[in-house]
Chain A
Amino acid sequence: MEKKTPNQIIINHDIMRYKKNKWAQVLAILGLVFNCLYFMLLYAYTDEHFRTITIGFSVILTLIVLLTVFLSSENVKNYNKTYCIVLFVVAAFQILRIFGYPLYGLNHKILTAGYFGFYPTPDQSWVEFIILLVYLLASAACLIGAGVIGIIQSVRLQKHIKKVESGEVDITAVVKAMEAEDEANAVAAKTAAEEALKETEEKITASGNGEV
């Protein structure tokens, strides 16, 4: 991959002023999707433990996670650092959740809900535990990824805006300099092509004269 020139780096940073942080947003939403997959399987269990008041807490927690992640995804899209930290907190909570009901279900061999035609016996509880584990870990990983990207990009943007506001970087001048650079490159390429053509013609002429 070609190394970027300082002007290209400035332009890349400047783009952030007008473009949303889509990668961070997409990752946060993906984290939310994995969370949905997790609770879809979680609420399929019908054992007595889960049909107590615990289900109420679980639903509330899930709703809080969903709303928080959605809100954060909208804010990290706009390079808001604070919400990146919120995403880290939610990610940590998702990891902690593994030690809640999924682990309890595994230990008590009650993870036996039908799942896409698969009906595990109590001894096969570990299969669904792993599925729940994967969903929660994937959700946490996405949220951490969104947070990391969000922080990196927002720090870059803040630094860039400071430079632009202080006059250290003049975007108009950078754009003009790059255009001039492009023009010079085009002229150089044209000259080189013409020279190469001339050289070839000379060679052909020389070979025609029997000099080669």
Chain B
Amino acid sequence: MPEVNIQHLDKIYDGGVQAVYDFNLDIKDGEFIVLVGPSGCGKSTTLRMVAGLEDITKGSLIIDGKDCTKEPPKNRDIAMVFQNYALYGHMTIYENMAFSLTLRKENKEIIHRKVMAAAEILDLKSQLNKKPKQLSGGQRQRVAMGRAIVRNPKVFLFDEPLSNLDAKLRGSMRRELILLHKKLNATIMYVTHDQTEALTLADRIVCMSMGHVQQIGNPIELYEKPANTFVATFIGLPPMNMFEGVIEKGCFKCELFDYPLNEKQTGLLKDYDGKNIILGVRPENITRAGHVKLHITNNENLGMNTLVHGKIGGVKNVVCKFAEWCNYQAGDEIEIGFDPEMMHFFELPTVDEQGKEVPGKAIR
């Protein structure tokens, strides 16, 4: 039995605005699920519906076999960690961590044992007598996690917990979260707009846009086999380069260049002959052996690799990621090609009845 079972979840606000459309997800016991997407895509709303902080308009939510669709938050046995930590400034770290158990009128011995165990896991033992303002952002976030851990909930919900931290701290907190997940073997739902967090933390990623689930899969699936143009451009940094063109006689033709396809690709695209499609290539899958002329505009050496920005035909911006250290100057021209095994093809985006753009599906 899955630990959390979400079926056909819809959220429609009072004004009639729909934030989430038909969200379906089965989360296994101990699984780390990351909801990722741009701002306003409905990921936090989904999480808040699971937490019980938002009413579920339609659909059902089952946590460990119990229907929690209409249950108030306190009966759902979940713990949520917020972006702004939500710590009580006048209480010590110990009191903050013990607060939820104190409210439940737990025995003080039990509370102490749970708080000490959580503090041991999170390396907060030396901070327990301090007030939140005396701690760094990372430590405060750990306290917020500790407050969730002491409750020993069925599901942990994290709403962009690392967004307030600087890049270095975020990196170390990510590693700590992975370790924490391994230690507790907890079921976690984690919301972020940061794809690095999503790719590094998740067992499975739910990629969302405009309230719709675009793709659910493990990180490598989303990266290597994006289901549509949205996932292809959202996951990956820098994003995938997209070229619109037409398939003609085993060749991808766009205004800027013609690119011959191999047998496998021709077979895959046989139904699209004469039709417009989108070719997607990740920056790291662009090679310096080919016949597409790239007019370089910028060369960014990042130490371990080089990002080369340029234009094809003076119009289309393209980013290439080369493993080597490059020293191109603005105005240089190079010839590039695409790794045939890593070329992605998509149908053109369409528009649904409500006038919303539907991303183009991957052709496989």
Contacts and interface: CB of A to CB of B under 8 A. Distances in A.
Nearest to A14: B112
A134 interface: no
Contacts of B112: 11, 14-15, 18
B271 interface: no
A77 B186 CA distance: 38
Question: Which of B95, B109, B115 neighbours the largest number of chain A CB atoms within 10 Å of its CB?
Answer: B109
A172 interface: yes
A163 interface: no
Contact of A8 (B92, B95, B109, B129): B109
A203 interface: no
Interface string A16-53: 01110000000000000000000000000000000000
Interface residues of A, number: 13
Interface in A132-180: 171-172, 175, 178-179
What is the predominant secondary structure among interface residues of chain A facing chain B? helix
Interface string B107-130: 011001101110010000000110
A200 interface: no
Given A17-B129, A18-B92, A18-B129, A12 B109 contact: yes
Contacts of A15: 108-109, 112
Contacts of B92: 18
Contacts of B113: 11, 175, 178-179
A53 to B, nearest CB: 44
Interface residues of B, number: 13
A157 to B, nearest CB: 13
Contacts of B108: 15
B109 A18 contact: no
B120 A11 contact: no
B96 to A, nearest CB: 11
Interface in B72-127: 92, 94-95, 108-109, 112-113, 115-117, 120
Question: Which of A18, A171, A175, A179 neighbours the largest number of chain B CB atoms within 10 Å of its CB?
Answer: A18
Contact of A18 (B94, B117, B120): B94
A172 B116 contact: yes
Nearest to B95: A18
B116 to A, nearest CB: 5
A175 B116 contact: yes
B109 A172 contact: no
A50 B117 CA distance: 62
Interface in B153-186: none
B116 A171 contact: yes
A11 B109 contact: yes
Interface string A173-198: 00100110000000000000000000
Contacts of A178: 113
A19 B129 CA distance: 9
Nearest to B117: A175
Closest 7 CB pairs of A and B: A18-B94, A175-B113, A15-B112, A175-B116, A11-B109, A172-B120, A18-B128
Given A11-B113, A12-B109, A15-B112, 18 more contacts: A8-B109, A11-B109, A11-B112, A14-B112, A14-B116, A15-B108, A15-B109, A18-B112, A18-B115, A18-B128, A171-B116, A172-B116, A172-B120, A175-B116, A175-B117, A175-B120, A178-B113, A179-B117
9 contacts: A14-B112, A15-B109, A15-B112, A17-B128, A19-B94, A171-B116, A172-B120, A175-B113, A175-B120
